[in-house]
């Protein structure tokens, strides 16, 4: 079942998988949409960290870019 199917809960592993899918899609996407997909991937990773209760990770990552910004 898809992690975002109705009636299911999402855990941190699901968030990491969705982040991975966004990165894979970004690598195949036209330049104009890559940055958006990388940003969404980062949001999924931040949610995964939050679900893990790992606020320290989030604090350490402030100001650090996991994914390159792609601007035209």
Domain presence at residue 69 = no
- 72 in any annotated domain: no
Within a domain: residue 3?
no
pTM flag (> 0.85): no
**Could you read off the pLDDT of 12-59 as tens digits, one per residue?**
899 999 999 999 999 999 988 999 999 999 999 999 988 888 655 555
In a domain, 43, yes or no: yes
Note down the domain range covering 48: 12-61
Q: What is the 3-state secondary structure (H, E, C) of the chain?
A: CCCCCCCCCCCHHHHHHHHHHHHHHHHHCCHHHHHHHHHHHHHHHHHHHHHCCCHHHHHHHCCCCCCCCCCC
Question: How many domains in the chain?
Answer: 1
In a domain, 7, yes or no: no
Please state, in angstroms and as integers, the Cα–Cα distance from residue 4 to each residue in 29, 36, 53, 65, following that order: 22, 20, 21, 26
Confidence of residue 72 (pLDDT cuts 50, 70, 90): very low
Q: Is residue 2 part of a domain?
A: no
């Amino acid at each position: 079942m898809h992690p975002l199917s109705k009636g299911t809960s999402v855990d941190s592993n699901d968030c990491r998988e969705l982040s991975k899918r966004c990165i894979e899609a970004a690598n195949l996407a036209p330049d104009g949409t890559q940055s958006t997909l990388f940003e969404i991937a980062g949001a999924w990773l931040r949610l995964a960290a939050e679900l893990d209760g790992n606020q320290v990770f989030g604090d350490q990552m402030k100001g650090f870019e996991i994914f390159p910004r792609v601007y035209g």
